[in-house]
Structure 1
């Protein structure tokens, strides 16, 4: 078996959002690594809203990579909150569109399991109603309904690069063929 064994973990930094640790990890061949890992405080929930062959996306800047790109609405699940409810709440807060009808599970993903313990629960809805400007207006420069047929080109042109968004949109496209 190729299982790595964790002998110890030590906190390097922790706040309400992130927990950075160092771990003494033994590889299957007996070598040890001083590995870093990140644990996030809450799981995330995201929603892909597809209506009339268009997907609801936000165009946003990510300061860490200093890049812009299209993303699905995604945010933290509040304590005691159901992931589907969190996904719908985040979608409305970030886009101003309230999903309605069934909110179906789409996929579960761990964005970077070699570095962090982060979980994303993703859902799909097939309708939404505009309720007004996004309450989280700091999240994006614009909100738009993007044709599903444009998604492959946007990925190729590096306008969609966020891993969770890629997973979600490619799953939607795979299920529409």
Structure 2
């Protein structure tokens, strides 16, 4: 199969966090049409593992899906910020744990909605977390807990961990052990 031809695009909505475009595309052997494209800044996230084989997870509600689930710290990479600096910043803001950006190990990368978005999720592994403060982003989680890595597969199976970036990172860590 050949690449689709892009004839142009127009932005129909923009904000500091998201842009929605209508893109004039022509798939091979098909008629042209306008396809939605949602553009986001990259997301950086961290699976924080301690010396007791536990992961730091945040229990939170997502209004868009009306879902309660466990997640890993994650957030948008700001302009001019490196992926590792963003990942370390998100851990600190959301959990109060400090991790060294230069000690973060790449764990997973995915494009969660490749058919209609440019979204990129970068997941890092950290092992050096030190609690230094209360979370700044207090709206991010109801609870923050260290949970055994050995129970993560069951939590995913039961739908207790459903966020794509968390599932991707945690399954990748389990596969590497």
Smaller-chain TM-score bracket:
over 0.9
Q: Secondary structure at the match of 1:173?
A: helix
Any unmatched runs of 5+ in structure 1? none
Q: Secondary structure at the match of 1:16?
A: coil
Matches of 2:46 and 2:167 in 1, distance apart? 13
Q: Does 1:170 align with 2:160?
A: no
What residue in structure 2 maps to residue 88 of structure 1?
Answer: 88
Matches of 1:15 and 1:6 in 2, distance apart? 24
Q: Secondary structure at the match of 1:108?
A: strand
Deviations 1:64-93 (A, max 9, x none): 001111111001212222211110110011
Q: Does 1:130 align with 2:131?
A: yes
Aligned residues: 175
What residue in structure 2 maps to residue 31 of structure 1?
Answer: 31
Matches of 1:91 and 1:124 in 2, distance apart? 11
Write 1 or 2 for the structure with the bigger share of strand: 1
Q: Secondary structure at the match of 2:49?
A: strand
Q: What's the CA shift for 1:7? A: 1.3
Give me the CA root mean square deviation: 1.4
Matches of 1:24 and 1:77 in 2, distance apart? 28
Deviation beyond 4 Å, 4+ runs, structure 1:
none
Matches of 2:128 and 2:145 in 1, distance apart? 14
Matches of 1:132 and 1:23 in 2, distance apart? 45
Q: Secondary structure at the match of 1:117?
A: coil
What residue in structure 2 maps to residue 149 of structure 1?
Answer: 150
What residue in structure 2 maps to residue 47 of structure 1?
Answer: 46
What residue in structure 1 maps to residue 111 of structure 2?
Answer: 110
Deviations 1:72-119 (A, max 9, x none): 100121222221111011001101111248211112221211121112
Q: Secondary structure at the match of 2:113?
A: coil
Matches of 2:70 and 2:26 in 1, distance apart? 39
Matches of 1:84 and 1:155 in 2, distance apart? 26
Give the structure-2-normalised TM-score: 0.93
